[in-house]
Structure 1
């Protein structure tokens, strides 16, 4: 069976139907009709051992190596970061996160392919900066990045900062042909990290009325759906952010995920959000999207 509809109405597409759907998404991305929402799993496309952590659990482990946290929170990135902020100060947390993500994460083939597309909006949900690097490497002069910033370092009602690809900070509200939105911040150019529980207190208080989300993101999502690649939703924080960014977008929505590994909460979230699961290994999906896996796979299930 290629398409599965569960009792919770989770739609899972696999086999030849999945390949056809990926081809349709290839065309939709090229036509700027869908928004790529990129996750840390993409880092594994170019290396089994990426130079920086590619899961929240790996970040938690890296922070624990610097300051052991209580066992009950040790695997939770947000809680470990909060523990360090309270015990060692925000500056220490910031410095350690900068160390952890200091190595340059090379853009994958998929990043490079996306960077060449005339997309209105790209969403990057991790700290590594590979998508930003891909846009710069492509010589894009018509792109800006909007990053979420912690309120701990700001005075006033500031939720985001905008940068051009050279790293220069721009006036709030600056836009371009392509907007790269990094809601959790990024290592480059200014070491912005939303990572501790305290970073999200005010954001989560306001996000239901959409205040922290930039106006350009709200505007450009209206007529489009989201395509999640390299993302997992096994934590409430990840689910909340994805839902709030997806909120009021037109849809439909899709996600490349190994269906066999879904947790109950992930499956429930995907079903309730009407996100269709494309059950194809991430590497195969990436090859299909960039046109490297179509000819050899045609006719095979």
Structure 2
């Protein structure tokens, strides 16, 4: 299917922007479409509903809890404890060898200057396992201090940076992967439940959830949202705070269909809606751009 918004000139502008850091991909659950369990063929539980069902052993929860994963996670945490929730997320995203999503494969080949990944999986980390890069991992519920940790990957393994090195890494090489909601590796930490989000978003608004070097990098850039839905307050608040000081207009959002609330939010923030999905972009780009060696 042809998508008028995914023309060759726009695609070229985006990929050039990835390389120089002027266009930043923002990944949501839709960017993981096509990632599957290697034995069962089941889709990775990336979106709210699939993730809630996986968390509750395949059983639906009440309609109020099914509305958003953070609500369901809060209930599970209250009933079974925080370690239970973290074990589930580590097992789901850190132990199952999911097949690679096409969007992640394509994006990994582009090696953008930096990426905002609103998922909790390790697909981009795995794709860059042999590539030096920086990982900024969001954390919640700490007493004072930063709401993030910074790790340098030297092409072999991760090493945490502390103090001034975390704020302004010396001669950063390779892409920067910002995962505000956490990841199982190298050290598991997640923003998952309602309580986590209250803490993390408060600190994000206060400027304590981003290292200085990312605050500097984000000035004047534009964002390409891939697979993010803006129907819930959580995603809208994350996007609003992370993309402060963006260029004008702020960027683009690939969405196959949008509700009125999404369109109003994106229009208000200077984001152009392109009626396509993230996988459409990867497939079109694969046809237009030769694979890197």
Question: Which band: TM-score by shorter chain?
Answer: 0.7 to 0.9
**What is residue 145 of structure 2 aligned with on the other side?**
157
Long gaps (5+) in structure 1: 1-13, 296-301
Alignment of 1:14-53 (within 5 A): 15-19=3-7, 20-45=9-34, 47=36, 51-53=43-45
Deviations 1:156-175 (A, max 9, x none): 32301122332333325163
**What is residue 170 of structure 1 aligned with on the other side?**
161
Structure 1: distance between partners of 2:65 and 2:182: 23
What is the aligned counterpart of 1:64 among 56, 59, 64? 56
What is the aligned counterpart of 1:114 among 101, 107, 110? 107
Report the CA distance between 1:18 and its aligned residue: 3.2
Deviations 1:186-210 (A, max 9, x none): 1222221100011122222233232
SS of alignment partner, residue 276 of structure 2: coil
Alignment of 1:119-268 (within 5 A): 119-136=112-129, 139-141=130-132, 143-151=133-141, 154-165=142-153, 166-172=157-163, 173=166, 175=169, 176-177=172-173, 178-251=175-248, 252-258=250-256, 261-268=257-264
Deviates more, 1:61-70 or 1:198-207: 61-70
Deviates more, 1:31-40 or 1:70-79: 70-79
SS of alignment partner, residue 231 of structure 1: coil
Number of equivalences:
274
Structure 1: distance between partners of 2:280 and 2:58: 37
Structure 2: distance between partners of 1:210 and 1:36: 21
| Inter-CA distance 116–84: structure 2 relative to 1 (3 Å threshold) | same
| Conserved? CA contact 1:105–1:128, under 8 Å | no
| Conserved? CA contact 1:254–1:275, under 8 Å | yes
Structure 2: distance between partners of 1:189 and 1:118: 20
Deviations 1:216-268 (A, max 9, x none): 2211111311111122122110110011111112244111111xx31222112
**What is residue 84 of structure 1 aligned with on the other side?**
76
SS of alignment partner, residue 190 of structure 1: coil
| Conserved? CA contact 2:108–2:128, under 8 Å | yes
TM-score, with structure 1 as normaliser: 0.81
What RMSD in Å do the two structures reach over aligned CA positions? Answer: 2.6
SS of alignment partner, residue 57 of structure 2: helix
| Conserved? CA contact 2:15–2:110, under 8 Å | no
Long gaps (5+) in structure 2: none
| Conserved? CA contact 1:28–1:34, under 8 Å | yes
| Conserved? CA contact 1:127–1:184, under 8 Å | yes
Report the CA distance between 1:83 and its aligned residue: 1.0
SS of alignment partner, residue 292 of structure 1: helix
| Conserved? CA contact 1:23–1:288, under 8 Å | no
Deviates more, 1:174-183 or 1:77-86: 174-183
Structure 1: distance between partners of 2:159 and 2:58: 32
Structure 2: distance between partners of 1:122 and 1:245: 12
SS of alignment partner, residue 208 of structure 1: helix
What is the aligned counterpart of 2:268 among 268, 272, 276? 272
